[in-house]
Amino acid sequence: RQQQRRLLNHFISKAPEQTGQPIPFRFTLAVKDNIATTTATVNSSPTSASSDPPQPTPALPTTCASHFLSTYRSPFEATIVSQLRARGARLVGKTNLDEFGMGSHSTHSAFGAVSQPQSQSDPPGNNLLQLSAGGSSGGSAVAVATGEADVALGTDTGGSVRLPAAYCGVVGFKPSYGMLSRYGVVPYANSLDTVGLLASGVGRIRELIVGGGGGGQGGEGHGLWEEWDARDPTSLSVAARRRCARRREGYSPQEKERGVLKRVKFGIPLEYNIEELDPRIRDAWAKAAKTLQDEFGARVVPVSLPSTRHALSAYYVIAPAEASSNLAKYDGIRYGTRDTDSGSDATGGVLYAASRGKGFGEEVKRRILLGSYTLSSKAMDNYFIQAQRVRRLVRRDFNRVFALDNPLHERETFDLTDLDESIVMEDKWGPEEVDFLLCPTAPTLAPRLEDIMNQTPVDAYMNDVFTVPASLAGLPAISIPVPLSETATDDAEKSRTAGLQLIGQYWDDARLLAVAEAVL
Ligand code: GLN
């Protein structure tokens, strides 16, 4: 059973083998199990000339790795899944995650913990010595790392695509907030949730987001960034997309050659060089900065983002607050598995409490309690309102260092005298305006599952310290793997990689992807 569990732990359900003539496809796709899917195969390919067409298979469940939804089958499909099918995706299965996306190691799952693929056989038999695959989209990162999927869908609220990408040695991209449709994606924290893509290289992701790969036919040619979805109220409107694109004119996303980097200026945010940063990651970061400068001819300058140190606390107030509201609908009556032990004469309250008590895991309950508390009338001003202020400061820090304007927020000045006095109020921090920020994705390499089990929840939250700032500001960010080999001391370490993150200004996704592709 253990063996089976280990083999299956990154997939929650797999698409059945195809019978009959296989449908032509351009790439295989794994989908995080908090994204709604219906049938595994769709029998609608216009190019299929088969006389024996494959039958549509039954719906795959959408469980969010929760006991509450363990048998749930969605009657509709997420827009992003349909968009990818139209571009030639074949769904291979639904991947494991932290329940409802809440976690950093894919260990809070009703289906067991995910582990990083390179560590799965080492040493055999002891799961706890295996390494974390990162979370919450850990299953998606493993599916890409093992080659079972060319592309995987994840969700990134505070780093859940970028952190697993860093731990598993693959590429993870979080787009600008509002770019990709969230219709059919089970919400965790609406003001932060984005759909992200994982792949082994940047090229495939860039082709899907920016377009141009499929010759312009059958929905393959134009990029996902252009597609507004009327069914997602946070999908950026057509007019706003146009306005953002106009502001980006002259910054051609088509330049693929190495020369693209010559005109680019990278900022090294000094506040990300924290004491807890693993020295091997610090070395890889410094080396990458040097390579950009010496080999690619880019300019690299230090920058300051002073509100960074408050970002993590603000995130862990805002995200649970929104989650506590989102998860209220799971009551065992309208949504979720009903607790049948309560008896048929149980009142609503008893049934509700019993169903939620059994249906949710520990971490989800912790977030609900935290969120309900910070939104309560006595605590609201001290926590939720304060966190929203910090969020604005984080956004302003970014707007200050980027050369491009944020098309959604003009540069502004605030009177925030009630906050930390070390925060300087001028609109611009200094003369250096950069195109992208280069920083680590996580402060450490993938830890062992055993060590994670002994961590406090706050220790686990610390892993997100470098990913949440871009989430709070809604900015695009990508994690790319870089080798540790230079500083590695043994063979096992020589094959390990660290994740480095590039962060761009809002709606500068196309250029971010072009630069990431040139660097990798
Ligand atoms: N680890 C973060 C959290 O638990 C991020 C999760 C995510 O991006 N879905 O909230």
Atom of ligand 1 nearest to the CA of 319: 10
Residues marked active site are found at 32, 136, 160
Q: Which tokens is 31 given?
A: 């989908």
Ligand 1 pocket test: pick from 157, 188, 366, 471 the residue with the most ligand atoms within 8 Å of its Cβ: 157
Indicate whether 282 pLDDT > 50: yes
Question: What share of the chain in percent tops pLDDT 70?
Answer: 82
Residue 291, CB-side half-sphere exposure with 13 Å CA sphere: 12
Q: Which residue has the tokens 């994705």?
A: 441
Least confident of 21-25, 379-383, 436-440, 460-464: 21-25
| 155 CB near ligand 1 (under 6 Å) | yes
Please tell me the residue having the least CA distance from ligand 1 atom 10.
Answer: 102
| Distance of alpha carbon 163 from the chain centroid | 8
| 136 CB near ligand 1 (under 6 Å) | yes
Q: Which tokens is 346 given?
A: 């149980």
Question: CA geometry: angle at 361 spanning 7 and 457, to 5°?
Answer: 95
In the DSSP assignment, the letter for residue 441 is: S
For residue range 324-345, list pLDDT tens digits in order: 999 999 988 888 888 877 776 7
In sequence order, which residues have a C-beta less than 8 Å from that of residue 39 and are 6 or more positions away? 56, 57, 58, 59, 60
505 CA → ligand 1 middle, Å? 21
358 CA → ligand 1 middle, Å? 22
In sequence order, which residues have a C-beta less than 8 Å from that of residue 245 and are 6 or more positions away? 507
**CATH code for the part of the protein at 1-44+56-306+389-520:** 3.90.1300.10
Indicate whether 431 pLDDT > 90: no
Indicate whether 22 pLDDT > 80: no
User: What's the rounded mean pLDDT across residues 229-244?
Assistant: 95
Strand partners, 483: 497
Atom of ligand 1 nearest to the CA of 463: 1
DSSP secondary structure letters along 236-248:
PPHHHHHHHHHHT
Which pLDDT score is estimated for 44?
A: 46
Indicate whether 1 pLDDT > 60: no
| 160 CB near ligand 1 (under 6 Å) | yes
Q: Which of 62, 69, 82, 142 is nearest to 106 (CA)?
A: 142
User: What's the rounded mean pLDDT across residues 133-146?
Assistant: 97
Higher-confidence residue of 486 and 182: namely: 182
| 159 CB near ligand 1 (under 6 Å) | yes
Q: Where in the chain is the domain with CATH 3.90.1300.10?
A: 1-44+56-306+389-520
pLDDT band at 24 (very low <50, low <70, confident <90, very high): confident
Is 267 within 8 Å of 301 (Cβ atoms)? Answer: yes
| 103 CB near ligand 1 (under 6 Å) | yes
Question: What share of the chain in percent tops pLDDT 90?
Answer: 68
Atom of ligand 1 nearest to the CA of 156: 8
| Distance of alpha carbon 442 from the chain centroid | 13
Ligand 1 pocket test: pick from 66, 96, 104, 186 the residue with the most ligand atoms within 8 Å of its Cβ: 104
pLDDT band at 215 (very low <50, low <70, confident <90, very high): very low
Average pLDDT, the chain: 87
DSSP secondary structure letters along 142-207:
HHHHTTS-SEEEEEESSSTTHHHHHHHTSEEEEPPTTSS--TTBPPS-TTT-EEEEEESSHHHHHH
Question: CA geometry: angle at 353 spanning 455 and 348, to 5°?
Answer: 165
Q: Report pTM.
A: 0.91
| 101 CB near ligand 1 (under 6 Å) | yes
Atom of ligand 1 nearest to the CA of 363: 4
| 158 CB near ligand 1 (under 6 Å) | yes
Give the ipTM: 0.98
DSSP secondary structure letters along 328-362:
GGBSSSSBS---GGG-TT--HHHHHHHHHHHHS-H
User: What's the rounded mean pLDDT across residues 498-509?
Assistant: 97
User: What's the rounded mean pLDDT across residues 176-198?
Assistant: 98
For residue range 242-263, list pLDDT tens digits in order: 999 888 776 654 544 556 777 8
Q: Which tokens is 70 given?
A: 């363990």
Indicate whether 106 pLDDT > 70: yes
